Structure 1
Amino acid sequence: MAFSVSWHTLLDELDALPAEATLITPLSHTQFQVTDVQEHRVIIEFLDRDIDETRPLHREQFESLYARVTDAPDGFDLDRLPPDADPYSAVLSVHPRFEIDEERGVIVETEGSTASQRVDADTSVEDNQGRTEPELDVYADAVLLVDALERHEVDVLEELETDGLVNLYTLLSDVQRNANELRQSVGDVLLGRLHHDRPVSGPFGSVQRTTRRRRSLKDDEEVLELVEEAGIERERVVGVDREKVAEVLEVTELSEADVYDVEESEYVRKAEVDEDRKESRLQGLKDQLAATDNEEDDAEGLREEIEELERRIDELTSFRTGSELS
């Protein structure tokens, strides 16, 4: 299919988008909206930028991307996009025959209709109509921690009662542990979406793919042979094995102080958690949140009941002109 045909199909699809429709770039996950559709370019506006928020996307660049995608049967690798070019791929995905596969990190031409990089603006509104509580330990502990922080004056910790400090320490420890587990899970998912070493930004910060190197020695004899071949005496690289020293302490009369320099430091360690007490308090907070959500409806109903009661009282107690006494 000629690019001119696909280009006008794309323009028609962009014209049909709702005004509030939001697109998201596949690499940096930046949100933007299409503000104007013209014959030779598309104007977009980024939603989370204070500068350079408006940008034109030119037809010739779309044509270049179109040629690369259609020439790649398995999809065009998004990592090969020039810097700041990922909005082109997001806009092109609005075309019914082009789709972005973030797991594979490609944009590909398909035979049938595809999903686009569109984020429906109404979704967040619908989600906010009712409170949803994620079934995560860190969520429950975070709610309890926020409640504790609001009830205690934490600006001067030295003035807090001991039981208040114990509660804070316990909750902070639980939040830290559970948040770290969730952080690792989120990181695992993100890793499959970061296809380059450039930072990817969100409203609160940015992340970047990073390579961590961990070294472990190969077989002892192999290393020693290589060292000797390099002209170094093996005695110079042979050291004390901590595990073997521990085994020696178990079978000899040597003490720990004979072979270790020991330094002691004291710290606070969480001993146990009263899960029942936490659950009871958490349920109370959930009830308060639910009551807050229904507060306006309840207040309106109460006002109507009061008005009705006042009306009935007025009818029973008011003096009616011309009324007869029996």
Structure 2
Amino acid sequence: MDAYWKSLRTVWEGLEPGSALVTPVSERLFDVESIRDDRLEVRFRDSGERRSLLREQFDVLADRLEENPIPVATLAPGVEPYAAALSLGPVVVSDGETLSMAPDEAVGGESPHLRSPEEARTRPRRVHDDAVLLADLLDRVNATDPGSIDTEALTDLYVLLSDVQRGADRVRGTARNALLERLGPDQRLHGRFGTVRRTTRERRIPKDDETIFEALDERDIPRAWVTGVDPEKLDVVLAVTDLDEATVYDVDEQVYVQKTGVDEDEKFAHLQGLAERLEEIEGGEEIHDDLLEIERRIDEALSAG
């Protein structure tokens, strides 16, 4: 078993920085933080929880697999991280549905439960990264005069603006839900950049037709006042008859730009290049310290009123 454990350690130690493992059933991302002689230390990204995966438990799971494969869907929550980490070694493999002993020709380091640094990013991290790419592009082009931007850069600008908007809206939704738990009916919350309050909007949804018609009949209101053409039914008529669309529809044609693809690999590679450039800036650490000091002084001034 020493050779088996050594092979597992070799694979874990060779993981690309920033990559993560994902539990097969609950799909929780976790990082390998350190590897010891008797355990693997991991940290879950969604909660920050740290766990020790013990070598003896890996041995128990491997022994169990020598008897029969295990359906991934049946794994208990406590066993999931063991299965994900074990599937990286050359002894055990997973196809995403079944965990089993590996064939002789198997090599370690490949698993459906492994996520690359790009794939392992959380939604807020993706928004951050897209915003960094957008900021870099805005520094290099004149966005106030789109006509002066070359076609490739203008396309990139549109794609990044779209990605930042979509990603920010999703993250904003999670922030909104958290804020609603802290906001009273007439309360306002103040941050450094703005203020929020609870707002209620009413959305009216018609009741079923029978209920509406009964209410109208009770008050001698003609049903014709509320009935009209159903667009869905009209489309069916157009499809099965020779009725011309222009006869029953006023068509307003709008031309717009549709994003049809995003090169995430290229975005991630450029992002890594930006990070490396920042690290190479002479005096970069001093600049960062100066910014932190300015932020601290601003906070003190605001606290003092």
TM-score in terms of structure 1 length:
0.48
Cα deviation per residue 1:40-98 (whole Å; 9 max; x = unaligned)? xxxxxxxxxxxxxxxxxxxxxxxxxxxxxxxxxxxxxxxxxxxxxxxxxxxxxxxxxxx
Q: Secondary structure at the match of 1:136?
A: helix
TM-aligned CA deviation for residue 169 of structure 1? 0.6
Cα deviation per residue 1:6-34 (whole Å; 9 max; x = unaligned)? xxxxxxxxxxxxxxxxxxxxxxxxxxxxx
Alignment of 1:131-280 (within 5 A): 136-280=125-269
Residues 145 and 171 in structure 1, CA contact (< 8 A), matched pair in contact too: yes
Question: 1:238–1:154: structure 2 CA closer, same or farther, 3 Å change rule?
Answer: closer
TM-aligned CA deviation for residue 154 of structure 1? 2.4
Q: Secondary structure at the match of 2:243?
A: coil
Letter matched to residue 235 of structure 1: A
Q: Secondary structure at the match of 1:204?
A: coil
Residues 170 and 273 in structure 1, CA contact (< 8 A), matched pair in contact too: yes
Residues 238 and 244 in structure 2, CA contact (< 8 A), matched pair in contact too: yes
TM-aligned CA deviation for residue 277 of structure 1? 1.2
TM-aligned CA deviation for residue 151 of structure 1? 1.3
Structure 1 gap segments, 5+ residues each: 1-132, 298-326
- The aligned counterpart of 1:291 is 280
Please give the alpha-carbon distance, in whole angstroms, between the structure 2 residues aligned to 1:295 and 1:173.
31
Please give the alpha-carbon distance, in whole angstroms, between the structure 2 residues aligned to 1:263 and 1:269.
18
Letter matched to residue 187 of structure 1: R
TM-aligned CA deviation for residue 293 of structure 1? 8.1
Residues 188 and 195 in structure 2, CA contact (< 8 A), matched pair in contact too: yes
Please give the alpha-carbon distance, in whole angstroms, between the structure 2 residues aligned to 1:235 and 1:152.
58
Residues 278 and 284 in structure 2, CA contact (< 8 A), matched pair in contact too: no
Please give the alpha-carbon distance, in whole angstroms, between the structure 2 residues aligned to 1:244 and 1:296.
66
Please give the alpha-carbon distance, in whole angstroms, between the structure 2 residues aligned to 1:156 and 1:215.
42
Whether 1:281 aligns to 2:270 is: yes
Count of matched residue positions in the alignment of Structure 1 and Structure 2: 165
Letter matched to residue 207 of structure 1: V
Residues 201 and 207 in structure 1, CA contact (< 8 A), matched pair in contact too: yes
Please give the alpha-carbon distance, in whole angstroms, between the structure 2 residues aligned to 1:295 and 1:271.
38
TM-aligned CA deviation for residue 201 of structure 1? 1.6
Please give the alpha-carbon distance, in whole angstroms, between the structure 2 residues aligned to 1:137 and 1:235.
52
TM-aligned CA deviation for residue 263 of structure 1? 0.9
TM-aligned CA deviation for residue 208 of structure 1? 1.0
Letter matched to residue 148 of structure 1: L
Structure 2 gap segments, 5+ residues each: 1-120, 287-305
Question: 1:157–1:220: structure 2 CA closer, same or farther, 3 Å change rule?
Answer: same
Please give the alpha-carbon distance, in whole angstroms, between the structure 2 residues aligned to 1:296 and 1:289.
10
Letter matched to residue 228 of structure 2: G
Residues 197 and 210 in structure 1, CA contact (< 8 A), matched pair in contact too: no
- The aligned counterpart of 1:85 is none
Bigger Cα Rg: 1
Question: 1:263–1:296: structure 2 CA closer, same or farther, 3 Å change rule?
Answer: closer
